[in-house]
Structure 1
Amino acid sequence: MDQNIESQIISAFLVTRKKERAKYELQNEKKRRHFIWEISGCSYYDEKYAQRILQPVSSYQTIYNLLKKNGAPDTCYVLCADKNFDGLTLPLDVALKHVVFNGPALISCNHGRWAYLEDGPTIGAANRYLLIRTPTLK
């Protein structure tokens, strides 16, 4: 786990009233899973920084192409429910292969500037968002 990156994510994308709680939960192994399952709920992330991805997603490649088109680096930081991937810096394609369709997950592409957020399992398509603190992406 990289507390510096996680702090940037919290500062950039979470509503003010949830920031301290999020820091506590991410640092507490027993509470970390709770935070990850709850982050996709609109009570955690600040909706003014969220752009819902409306295009159909048939594979992780759709999200990969969208992120790369907007300048995503080759590596990213992953917050996800799977302990084998959570808290790791991974190649973007590897992270997306694992988390697309397997949320909840937040992939930080440019820490504190923009990230990809996917809801947990649902009936039908999961909600997917770009969380953006920079000018509108393509």
Structure 2
Amino acid sequence: MNKNIEEKIISAFIIKQKKERAKFELWNEKKRERFIWDITERKYFDEKYAHKIDLSGFSIEVLYQFLNEHGAPDDCYPLSIDNNYDGISLPLKFALEHLVYDGPVLISCIHGKLAYLEGEPTIGPPNRYLLIRK
């Protein structure tokens, strides 16, 4: 876990009233996984920066291309329920291939500026967002 990166994510995308709660849950070993499970359901994200993805043409390739076009570097930092990939730096393409469609997950590309957010799988596709802050 990299608290510096997670601080940037929280500062940029979480609404003011929930920033401290998000830090508490995310940085608490017993609450971290629950926070990630509930990441899209609990209204943590500022709607000014969370853009719902149109699912009609969604694919990992399209997402990868979009993130690259918006300046995403080769590495990313996921918050994931999969402990093998949570809180470590990974190649972006690898993270997308292993974590998308298997959410919930937040994949931070440019920390505090560009991220992909996917909710818990349900009946039908999960909620998916691009978090963009300039």
Superposition TM-score tier, normalisation by shorter sequence: over 0.9
Tell whether the 8 Å contact from 1:79 to 1:105 is kept in structure 2 after alignment. yes
Query: CA offsets per residue over residues 35-92 of structure 1, 9 Å max, x none?
Result: 1012112511111111111043564222111111222110001001111100011000
2:14 matched to 1:26? no
Determine helix, strand or coil for the equivalent of 2:48: helix
Farther-moved stretch of structure 1 (61-70 vs 102-111): 61-70
| Aligned 1:1-138 pairs, distance under 5 A | 1-41=1-41, 43-56=43-56, 59-134=59-134
TM-score by length of 2: 0.94
Give the unaligned 5+ runs of structure 1: none
Determine helix, strand or coil for the equivalent of 1:11: helix
Tell whether the 8 Å contact from 2:103 to 2:118 is kept in structure 1 after alignment. yes
Distance 2:77 2:106 in 1: 8
Give the unaligned 5+ runs of structure 2: none
Query: Percent same amino acid among aligned pairs?
Result: 57
Distance 1:37 1:92 in 2: 21
Query: How many residue pairs get matched?
Result: 134
| Residues 111 and 95 of structure 1: CA distance in aligned 2, closer, same or farther (over 3 Å) | same
